[in-house]
């Protein structure tokens, strides 16, 4: 894939841009095998390739420029807006929405935030597209000052962008390098975005985490279900459960599944999905994964962990090493922290592993490993 923004040095976010995709995938596979070599993975399945472009379901764009000429993209080193509305890794739905959103910024007179002077209102646009082409549009604002105008002109936006089913204003008053704040104002009647993967429909709320690459996420969850099917666990935990991707895919009539997630928004999303699917043997709760495990009376047959980049950490790894869970399914977005965690769990040995290329054009990827407890 070639990108004119990358070639012009306007954006260098995709560090592998221009490199043949087969080479990218081979390098990721080699890196994963190298870091996990000390654990003697007996079976590496072929890596799951992504499409090279149009793969992102979530666009996190900085708004710059002026009210009459907003930029949607990133900021340069001097804090000036760089427009990336034609970004090739964003979905076609994103690219179609950006010009409409730029016109709406002008119509509603929402001044882009200026980092240097700390003036203006609109910091980011966060746009998520579902597999069915519906959108969640979030305006990240410094204050509530533009809310009245956004509400006034919202019918115009929805008429021009009918696929926008959820529109919100997120409030981020602090001047700091974060994407969003904690307060969210939902401006539409619909409050969640249905994300249909395989035979599971998840309901995404504004501040809930969801895997960036829809097709690869679907492949990841389907593979997890296939790996677990033959194990037939009576009960399972999904730690760091997010909106319930693994738990909802592992649910069946014979397995009790508990999902634990720190984000209250994500738990609410997962509970709505569970209710809609009438899954009586699945439950979700808000809490810290490590604290939940350490406070439990017993371990389940299966523990699924899908932690952030830092990994599960020594405390949870030590607990898993001591516990009697027969299997652990570990999905990781950072193979270095995965290797560190595996070293702390020598009684859990890899059975098989697979790379899922969640982030083409970058060095990042997902790797999933099935671990089995060994005697002695």
Two tokens at 246?
């693994």
Residue 352 near residue 369 (C-beta atoms within 8 A): yes
Contact 319, 345 (CB under 8 A): no
Residues with a catalytic annotation lie at: 333
42 phi and psi, to 5 degrees? -75, -25
CB atoms within 10 A of CB 319: 18
End-to-end CA gap in the chain: 50
What is the SS3 string spanning the chain? CCCHHHHCCCCCCCCCCCCCHHHHHHHHHHHHHHHCHHHCCCCECCCECCCCCCCECEEEEEEEECCCCEEEEEECCCCCEEECCCCCCECHHHHHHHHHHHHHHHHCCCCECECCCCECCEEEEEEEECCCCCEEEEEEECCCCCHHHHHHHHHHHHHHCCCEEEEEEEECCCCCCCCCCCEEEECCCCCCEEEEECCEEEEECCCCCCCCEHHHHHHHHHHHHHHHHCCCCCEEEEECCCCCHHHHHHCECCEEEEEEECCHHHHHHHHHHHHHCCCCCEEEEECCHHHHHHCCCCCCCEEEECCCCCCCHHHHHHHHHHCCCCEEEEEECCHHHHHHHHHCCCCEEEEEEEEECCCCCCCCCEEEEEEEECCC
Euclidean distance between CA atoms 329 and 32, whole angstroms: 16
Give the largest CA-CA distance in the chain. 69
């Amino acid at each position: 894939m070639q990108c004119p923004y990358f070639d012009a040095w306007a954006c260098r976010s995709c560090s592998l841009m221009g490199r043949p995709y087969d080479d990218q995938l081979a390098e990721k596979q080699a890196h994963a095998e190298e870091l996990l070599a000390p654990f003697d993975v007996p079976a590496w399945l072929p890596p799951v390739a992504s499409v090279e472009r149009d793969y992102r379901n979530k666009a996190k764009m900085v708004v710059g420029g002026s009210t009459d000429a907003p930029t949607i993209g990133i900021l340069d080193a001097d804090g000036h807006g760089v427009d990336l509305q034609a970004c090739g890794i964003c979905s076609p739905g994103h690219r179609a929405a950006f010009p409409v959103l730029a016109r709406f910024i002008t119509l509603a007179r929402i001044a882009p935030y200026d980092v240097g002077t700390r003036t203006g209102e609109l910091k980011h646009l966060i746009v998520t597209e579902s597999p069915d082409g519906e959108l969640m549009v979030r305006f990240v604002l410094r204050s509530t000052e533009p809310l009245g105008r956004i509400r006034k002109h919202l019918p115009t936006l929805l008429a021009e962008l009918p696929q926008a089913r959820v529109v919100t204003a997120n409030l981020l008053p602090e001047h700091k390098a974060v994407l969003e704040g904690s307060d969210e104002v939902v401006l539409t009647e619909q409050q969640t975005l249905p994300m249909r993967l395989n035979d599971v429909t998840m309901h995404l709320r504004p501040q809930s985490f969801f895997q960036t690459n829809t097709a690869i996420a679907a492949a990841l969850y389907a593979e997890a279900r296939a790996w677990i099917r033959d194990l037939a666990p009576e009960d399972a935990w999904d730690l760091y459960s997010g909106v319930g991707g693994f738990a909802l895919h592992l649910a069946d009539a014979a397995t009790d599944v508990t999902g634990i997630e720190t984000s209250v928004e994500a738990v609410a999303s997962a509970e709505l999905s569970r209710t809609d699917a009438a899954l009586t043997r699945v439950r979700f709760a808000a809490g810290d994964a490590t604290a939940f495990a350490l406070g439990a009376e017993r371990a389940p047959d299966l523990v699924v962990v899908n932690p952030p980049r830092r990994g599960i950490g020594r405390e949870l790894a030590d607990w898993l090493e001591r516990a009697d869970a027969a299997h652990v399914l570990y999905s990781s977005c950072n193979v270095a922290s995965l290797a560190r965690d595996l070293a702390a769990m020598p009684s859990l040995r890899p059975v098989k592993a697979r790379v899922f290329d969640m982030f083409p054009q970058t060095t990042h990827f997902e790797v999933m490993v099935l671990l089995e407890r060994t005697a002695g």
